[in-house]
């Protein structure tokens, strides 16, 4: 018999699992060994050797190697070996950079891997989906992605979207009924769910019958190796820039060689110098360093509790101009506690904090006995009955399993001695319509011991008012006319203005002939009973984060399904709502077109009573206004807005798989303040990339120009090829990496967001590169000429001086690259990596100059002490000349 033909008890028997407690750890271990991890096999990745070899496939490197070979054949062994050594070291560095980039991307995938709720050793726990084994019992609900193939054991209005497997985009209704017949098409297996499909509604429990490649998905796994494009806009732009730079560098090199030959230089020497120059001047390592900088930044962001799912988001983050954030759970703590209960114009206060189920009920400051207060008892009972959360006690601590709003209602009932377990014994839940943010209600159909059925509904009070026709008023049922409606509304507003989240409770008895097939049939003609008001305190750090965002030119918009007045009260506490700021309700939003919304959206700071569908409209309107929008969300219905936003953000704790998959950033702690940190990091990463681009290119410009000018002036070569290569490897490479790890400048979060279309050389970077590079070239040449004319016979000494001046000029200039404004803005010892890189570069240079065995290889001679004065003086000029002129300009 196949799985779908069996009854659920038969399934459990044949897969050998206990339905009440699941598998034991020992059994799980055995099965993991037998079946392996629940993973699809991935396409093979390139091996280390291939990555290493690919470092040398660069055209100019190949030319250099060929040139080296020629010089080797011509008997220049030392030169040849030294050049090859440098090329290999360069390749090894590139290899490690690339490996590092790849590894950290791998690690990211792991971090955002889906989790599942599984029953093991008698307890529900969360594990990674890849740890599932056949026989595991798994619980899932709307928004989850199914982790393995399962036979269903229990379903509640369960609907699954299986398009990944069947191509059918309409959700399929699922049940637990056995299906007859051996051969049934995948689309008709309504008592099973499959790996990779999505729960769009309801909830269910299933037992795993297939994992890994043994699933329906596994059979078509080859088709699914869809690699996501991870290239960021900047990387793409740099690639284009790289191509231009190659052409420019080559052209200049040819020019240098050409002029050199015309001026009477030896062709062979000029060729080797030209190729070395081209290798040095072409920033072929730039894309790799950018990737490393991005992925190191991503790792820093993980430490600050945000996971980047799509690398381009790192850049876009720095451009964000509006953050649209959920209120509940993101700006607030999502630790709800019922403090007020209202019914029939009476208000009871409830004491106690958190999920600790002990507290008192007070009326007019007098303690009341709930057992003697029928209304109170009803509100609490129904609130706990129409519920999907539970409070778990262990060692005196109380923990919530489920939705905090639900949890608060369970706890308030427990404070009156009403336990969910006892209720579940007395009332059988025969049907359930789970909460969703569009209906803003949840309902259950229950049957009591004597077989009477009734509907219990809880949800947003204004919505419940609309579907109630009667009201319990001081234990008497009355028609819900406008008089009572007015009183209820007044009560709602009074609770909401105290920043309380309000939930109303209602019910209706059913006749035995009544049939309830949909939430719509359940949620009408209800009897309204009363309200529970719960606090949900703001997260303490959010107020400061909102302020920092405002200083950074980023507007914060609160979006919530909660009541307008509650939303407004919390927005005021957090300083989100300015005096002239508008609050808009979902109703109003529905009536506006995107174009109409666009004209006013800049004035709106709070959107209340919205449905997830509204979020898309908000994103579009803001984008039409030219904003770069970050949008948070957690539910299935939030996914379209998350996708449409420039930066889609999902919640690590409460977020559904659907929302996470749609997002480019996941907040591990669901916290608004984390968005701010991520934006700050995003800005910093971008600025750091600019810093090393600036440094590398200015250095390259300097290297080319010193050679070019020397040729034009009919001078000998100021640098020999191996020196040029050395500078490229040591002086350019190490400090550039260190710049990638630089701390943010003090005013980073006081600048306006960067324009997304901004080019690499925007904000004066191009000028800085050319002017500093030009000066570096000039001073190197000047130092060379001074020493060369002093003693024209000692060319090698003059070349050593030029070499040292070039290195020192770059190492001083690197400190200037740390600031957009001026070198004097920053403490030079702030970046210890940079200090380390500079010191090691200097030491390595000293070794090359003063260590006798290396001198013939690098064509160096020991520099006299007095000439260091010349070198240092010259090399300080490029940085301080322009820094000084900038200062005078500022004071003028
Ligand atoms: P948000 O998450 O932005 O606060 P929701 O869409 O979750 O908004 O909730 C909207 C309203 O629905 C709430 O103000 C509350 O009245 C009601 N509500 C929230 N959670 C539940 C729930 N689990 N069951 C019933 N009603 C709920
Ligand atoms: Mg919610």
Question: Per mean pLDDT, which range of 90-104, 288-302, 380-394, 421-435 is the poorest?
Answer: 90-104
Is 708 a residue whose pLDDT tops 80? Answer: yes
Minimal-distance CA residue to ligand 1 atom 16: 460
Half-sphere exposure of residue 447: CA atoms within 13 angstroms, side-chain side: 10
Q: Please give the DSSP secondary-structure letter assigned to residue 880.
A: H
| 95: phi then psi, degrees, rounded to nearest 5 | -60, -50
Cβ 357 under 6 angstroms from ligand 1: no
Q: Is 778 within a domain? A: yes
Cβ 387 under 6 angstroms from ligand 1: no
Minimal-distance CA residue to ligand 1 atom 26: 459
Is 481 a residue whose pLDDT tops 70? Answer: yes
856 with 78: CB under 8 angstroms? yes
CATH assignment at residue 455: 3.40.1110.10
Residue 478, SS3 per DSSP: strand
Cβ 654 under 6 angstroms from ligand 1: no
How high is the pLDDT of residue 221? 65
- Mean pLDDT, residues 112-116: 76
Question: How many A from CA of 189 to the centre of ligand 1?
Answer: 34
Minimal-distance CA residue to ligand 1 atom 13: 562
How high is the pLDDT of residue 134? 95
Atom of ligand 1 nearest to the CA of 459: 26
Is 845 a residue whose pLDDT tops 70? Answer: yes
Q: Is 803 exposed, middle or buried (0-12, 13-18, 19+ CB in 10 A)?
A: buried
Residue 158, SS3 per DSSP: strand
Domain end residue (candidates: 649, 670, 691)? 670
How high is the pLDDT of residue 164? 74
Question: How many A from CA of 401 to the centre of ligand 1?
Answer: 17
Q: Is the dihedral of CA 282, 287, 292, 298 positive or negative?
A: positive
How high is the pLDDT of residue 385? 96
Q: Is 238 within a domain? A: no
Question: Per mean pLDDT, which range of 168-182, 223-237, 385-399 is the poorest?
Answer: 223-237
CATH assignment at residue 567: 3.40.50.1000
- Which of the pair, 571 or 823, is modelled with greater confidence? 571
Cβ 433 under 6 angstroms from ligand 1: no
Question: How many A from CA of 738 to the centre of ligand 1?
Answer: 48
Q: How far apart are CA 499 and CA 690, in angstroms?
A: 45
How high is the pLDDT of residue 54? 74
Question: How many A from CA of 152 to the centre of ligand 1?
Answer: 29
- Mean pLDDT, residues 254-275: 87
Mind listing the pLDDT tens digit for each residue in 581-609?
Answer: 999 999 999 999 999 999 999 999 999 99
Residue 816, SS3 per DSSP: helix
Q: Is 37 within a domain? A: yes
Minimal-distance CA residue to ligand 1 atom 27: 459
Mean pLDDT of the chain: 89
847 in the same domain as 704 = yes
Domain, as residue range, for 168: 3-42+108-212
Q: Which residues pair with 390 in a beta bridge?
A: 401
- Mean pLDDT, residues 484-489: 96
Question: Per mean pLDDT, which range of 107-116, 318-327, 730-739, 799-808 is the poorest?
Answer: 107-116
Cβ 501 under 6 angstroms from ligand 1: yes
Is 849 a residue whose pLDDT tops 90? Answer: yes
Cβ 343 under 6 angstroms from ligand 1: no
How high is the pLDDT of residue 278? 82
**C-alpha angle with apex 325: 319 to 330, nearest 5 degrees?**
125
Task: Name which of 606, 608, 661, 609 is nearest 633 in CA terms.
Answer: 661
Question: How many A from CA of 327 to the centre of ligand 1?
Answer: 11
Question: How many A from CA of 375 to the centre of ligand 2?
Answer: 27
Atom of ligand 1 nearest to the CA of 386: 24
Ligand having the closest approach to the CA of 325? 1
Q: Which of 405, 533, 537, 565 to mutate to test the pocket of ligand 1 (most atoms within 8 A of CB)?
A: 405
Q: How far apart are CA 583 and CA 305, in angstroms?
A: 30
164 in the same domain as 133 = yes
Cβ 459 under 6 angstroms from ligand 1: yes
Question: How many A from CA of 570 to the centre of ligand 1?
Answer: 16
Confidence band for 104, pLDDT divided at 50, 70 and 90: low
53 in the same domain as 17 = no
625 in the same domain as 516 = no
Q: Is 396 within a domain? A: yes
724 in the same domain as 843 = yes
Q: Is 650 within a domain? A: yes
57 in the same domain as 127 = no
Cβ 326 under 6 angstroms from ligand 1: yes
Q: Within 8-76, where are the H helices?
A: 8-15, 25-35, 48-54, 59-73
Q: How far apart are CA 783 and CA 415, in angstroms?
A: 85
739 in the same domain as 878 = yes
Confidence band for 489, pLDDT divided at 50, 70 and 90: very high
479 in the same domain as 375 = yes
Q: How far apart are CA 829 and CA 368, in angstroms?
A: 67
Minimal-distance CA residue to ligand 1 atom 18: 459
Task: Name which of 560, 528, 363, 541 is nearest 455 in CA terms.
Answer: 528
Atom of ligand 1 nearest to the CA of 566: 14
Q: How far apart are CA 276 and CA 269, in angstroms?
A: 11
Cβ 328 under 6 angstroms from ligand 1: yes
418 in the same domain as 348 = yes
- Which of the pair, 792 or 310, is modelled with greater confidence? 792
Domain end residue (candidates: 179, 212, 245)? 212
Q: Is the dihedral of CA 476, 481, 487, 489 positive or negative?
A: positive
Residue 147, SS3 per DSSP: coil
Cβ 406 under 6 angstroms from ligand 1: yes
Q: Which of 141, 440, 526 to mutate to test the pocket of ligand 1 (most atoms within 8 A of CB)?
A: 440
Ligand having the closest approach to the CA of 327? 1
How high is the pLDDT of residue 564? 95
Catalytic residue among 326, 406, 562, 732: 326
Atom of ligand 1 nearest to the CA of 327: 3
313 in the same domain as 298 = no
Cβ 634 under 6 angstroms from ligand 1: no
709 in the same domain as 633 = no
772 with 878: CB under 8 angstroms? yes
Mind listing the pLDDT tens digit for each residue in 631-659?
Answer: 999 988 898 999 999 999 999 888 888 88
CATH assignment at residue 795: 1.20.1110.10
Mind listing the pLDDT tens digit for each residue in 430-446?
Answer: 988 989 889 999 999 99
217 with 164: CB under 8 angstroms? yes
Domain end residue (candidates: 490, 508, 532)? 532
Question: How many A from CA of 653 to the centre of ligand 1?
Answer: 17
599: which residues sit within 8 A by CB, 6+ positions away? Answer: none
Ligand having the closest approach to the CA of 435? 1
189 with 246: CB under 8 angstroms? no
Ligand having the closest approach to the CA of 637? 1
Task: Name which of 339, 284, 503, 282 is nearest 406 in CA terms.
Answer: 503
The helix or strand, by DSSP H or E, that contains position 143, with its residue range, turns out to be: none
- Mean pLDDT, residues 506-531: 94
**C-alpha angle with apex 685: 682 to 689, nearest 5 degrees?**
140
Q: Please give the DSSP secondary-structure letter assigned to residue 144.
A: P
User: Considering its fold, how many domains does the chain have in total?
Assistant: 5
Q: Is 58 a catalytic residue?
A: no
Ligand having the closest approach to the CA of 502? 1
How high is the pLDDT of residue 228? 45
Question: Per mean pLDDT, which range of 222-226, 686-690, 745-749 is the poorest?
Answer: 222-226
Mind listing the pLDDT tens digit for each residue in 30-58?
Answer: 999 999 998 877 666 677 787 777 777 66
Burial 547-581 (b: 16+ CB within 10 A, else e): ebbeebebbbbbbbbbbbbbbbbbbebbebbeeeb
Q: Is 279 within a domain? A: no
Mind listing the pLDDT tens digit for each residue in 221-263?
Answer: 655 444 444 567 777 788 788 788 888 888 988 999 999 999 9
- Mean pLDDT, residues 314-343: 95
Cβ 344 under 6 angstroms from ligand 1: no
772 in the same domain as 828 = yes
Q: Is 266 within a domain? A: no
Cβ 632 under 6 angstroms from ligand 1: no
- Mean pLDDT, residues 750-768: 90
Q: Is 836 within a domain? A: yes
Q: Is the dihedral of CA 330, 663, 311, 50 positive or negative?
A: positive
User: pTM of the entire structure?
Assistant: 0.85
Q: Is the dihedral of CA 433, 435, 440, 446 positive or negative?
A: positive
CATH assignment at residue 21: 2.70.150.10
Cβ 437 under 6 angstroms from ligand 1: yes
Is 285 a residue whose pLDDT tops 70? Answer: no
Is 284 a residue whose pLDDT tops 70? Answer: no
């Amino acid at each position: 018999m196949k799985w779908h033909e069996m009854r659920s008890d038969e399934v459990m028997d044949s897969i050998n699992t206990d339905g009440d407690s699941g598998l034991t750890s020992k059994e799980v271990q055995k099965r993991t060994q037998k079946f392996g991890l629940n993973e699809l096999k991935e396409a093979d990745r390139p091996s280390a050797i291939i990555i290493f070899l690919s470092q040398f496939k660069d055209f100019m490197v190949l030319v250099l190697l060929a040139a080296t070979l020629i010089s080797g054949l011509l008997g220049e062994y030392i030169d040849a070996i030294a050049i090859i050594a440098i090329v290999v070291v360069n390749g090894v560095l590139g290899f490690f950079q690339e490996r590092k980039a790849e590894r950290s991307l791998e690690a990211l995938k792991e971090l955002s891997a889906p989790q599942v709720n599984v029953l093991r050793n008698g307890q529900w726990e969360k594990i990674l989906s890849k740890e599932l084994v056949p026989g595991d019992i798994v619980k899932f609900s709307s928004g989850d992605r199914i982790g393995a193939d399962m036979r269903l054991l229990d379903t509640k209005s369960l609907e699954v979207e299986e398009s990944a497997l069947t191509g059918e985009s309409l959700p399929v209704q699922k049940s637990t009924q056995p299906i007859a017949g051996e051969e049934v098409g995948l689309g008709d297996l309504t008592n099973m769910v499959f790996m990779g499909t999505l729960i769009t509604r309801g909830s269910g429990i299933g037992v795993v019958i297939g994992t890994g490649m043994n699933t329906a998905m596994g059979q078509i796994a080859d088709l699914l190796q869809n690699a996501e494009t991870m290239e960021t806009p900047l990387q793409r732009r740099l690639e284009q820039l790289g191509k231009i730079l190659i052409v420019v560098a080559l052209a200049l090199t040819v020019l240098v060689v050409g002029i050199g030959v015309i001026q009477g230089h030896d062709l062979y020497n000029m060729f080797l110098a030209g190729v070395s120059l081209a290798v040095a001047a072409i920033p072929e390592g730039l894309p790799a360093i950018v990737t490393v900088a991005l992925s190191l930044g991503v790792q820093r962001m993980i430490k600050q509790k945000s996971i980047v799912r799509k690398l381009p988001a790192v850049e876009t983050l720095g451009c964000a101009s509006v953050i649209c954030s959920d209120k509940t759970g993101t700006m607030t703590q999502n630790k709800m506690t019922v403090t007020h209960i209202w019914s029939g114009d009476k208000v009871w206060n409830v004491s106690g904090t958190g999920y600790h189920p002990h507290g008192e009920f007070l009326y007019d400051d007098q303690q009341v006995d709930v057992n003697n207060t029928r209304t109170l008892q009803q509100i609490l009972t129904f609130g706990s009955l129409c519920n999907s959360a539970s409070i778990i006690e262990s060692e005196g601590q109380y923990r919530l399993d489920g939705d905090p709003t639900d949890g608060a209602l369970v706890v308030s009932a427990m404070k009156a001695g009403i336990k969910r377990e006892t209720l579940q014994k007395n009332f059988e839940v025969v049907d359930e319509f789970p909460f969703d943010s569009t209906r803003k209600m949840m309902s259950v159909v229950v049957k009591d011991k004597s077989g009477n059925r009734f509907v219990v509904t809880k949800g947003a009070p204004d919505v419940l008012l609309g579907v109630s026709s009667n009201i319990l008023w001081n234990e008497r049922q009355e028609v819900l006319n406008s008089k009572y409606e007015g009183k209820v509304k007044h009560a709602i507003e009074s609770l909401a203005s105290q920043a309380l989240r309000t939930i109303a409770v209602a019910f209706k008895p059913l006749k035995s002939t009544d049939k309830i097939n949909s939430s719509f049939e359940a949620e009408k003609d209800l009897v309204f009973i009363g309200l529970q008001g719960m606090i949900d305190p703001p997260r303490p750090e959010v107020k400061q984060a909102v302020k920092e965002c405002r200083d950074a030119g980023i507007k914060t918009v609160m979006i919530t399904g909660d009541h307008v007045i509650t939303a407004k009260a919390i927005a005021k506490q957090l300083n989100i709502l300015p005096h002239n700021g508008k609050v808009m309700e979902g109703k109003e939003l529905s009536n506006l077109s995107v174009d109409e919304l666009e004209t006013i959206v800049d004035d709106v700071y709070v959107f209340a009573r919205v449905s997830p569908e509204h979020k898309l409209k908000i994103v579009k309107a803001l984008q039409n206004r030219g904003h770069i929008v970050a949008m948070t969300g957690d539910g299935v219905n939030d996914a379209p807005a998350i996708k449409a936003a420039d930066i889609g953000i999902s919640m690590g704790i409460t977020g559904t798989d659907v929302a996470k998959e749609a997002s480019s950033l996941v907040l591990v702690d669901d916290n608004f303040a984390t968005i701010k940190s991520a934006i700050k990091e995003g800005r910093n990463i971008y600025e750091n990339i600019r810093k090393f681009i600036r440094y590398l290119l200015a250095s390259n410009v300097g290297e080319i120009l010193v050679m070019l000018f020397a040729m034009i002036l009919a001078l000998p070569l100021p640098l020999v090829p191996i020196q040029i290569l050395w500078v490229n490897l040591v002086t350019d490479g190490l400090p550039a990496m260190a710049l990638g790890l630089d701390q943010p400048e003090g005013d980073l979060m006081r600048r306006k967001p960067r324009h997304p279309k901004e080019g690499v050389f925007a904000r004066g970077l191009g000028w800085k590169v050319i002017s500093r590079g030009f000066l570096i070239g000039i001073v190197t040449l000047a130092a060379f000429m001074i020493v060369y004319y002093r003693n024209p016979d000692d060319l090698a000494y003059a070349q050593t001086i030029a070499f040292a001046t070039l290195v020192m000029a770059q190492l001083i200039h690197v400190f200037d690259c740390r600031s957009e404004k001026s070198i004097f803005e920053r403490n030079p010892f702030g970046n210890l990596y940079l200090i380390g890189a500079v010191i090691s570069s200097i030491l390595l240079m000293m070794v090359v100059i003063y260590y006798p065995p290396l001198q013939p290889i690098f064509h160096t001679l020991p520099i006299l002490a007095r000439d260091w004065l010349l070198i240092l003086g010259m090399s300080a000029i490029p940085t301080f000349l322009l820094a000084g002129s900038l200062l005078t300009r500022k004071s003028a």
